[in-house]
Amino acid sequence: MKVAVKECGGCNSRLDKKALINLIKEKLVNKGVDFVPFTSPEYDVLISISGCHVNCAAKNASEFMPDGVTLIVVHEYIVDGIYTMNIEEMSEIIVSKILKLKEKVLKANEA
């Protein structure tokens, strides 16, 4: 499973994006998930991370996404429309989504 991360420019960030990304990566160590640049021609999941409510990272994310990619949108403390309290909770939601998708892909490949 390949995951890419696209970040906003951080002009009005209320979120420690680097800490969130590092936490996600730590939780996915040895889980068969590789992180690649968002400009890579191939990945399964794109995590779009914006530090504030404007959500600029997601606005043009589709321009970079290969077909069939799952988009996870993070802006401020919201993950895919779910309000969270901190980056720990955010990371748990994101990691869970990635691992569920990975399991679904593995099952589909076995069929």
**What are the residue boundaries of the structural domains of the chain, listed by start?**
2-110
Residue scoring higher pLDDT (103 or 59): 103
User: 103: which residues sit within 8 A by CB, 6+ positions away?
Assistant: none
Using one digit for the tens of pLDDT, what is the confidence trace for 52-74?
Answer: 999 988 887 877 788 889 999 99
The pLDDT assigned to 50 comes to 95
* DSSP symbols for 62-110: GGTPPTTPEEEEEETTEETTEE-SSHHHHHHHHHHHHHHHHHHHHHHHH
Q: Which of 61-65, 97-101, 106-110 has the highest mean pLDDT?
A: 97-101
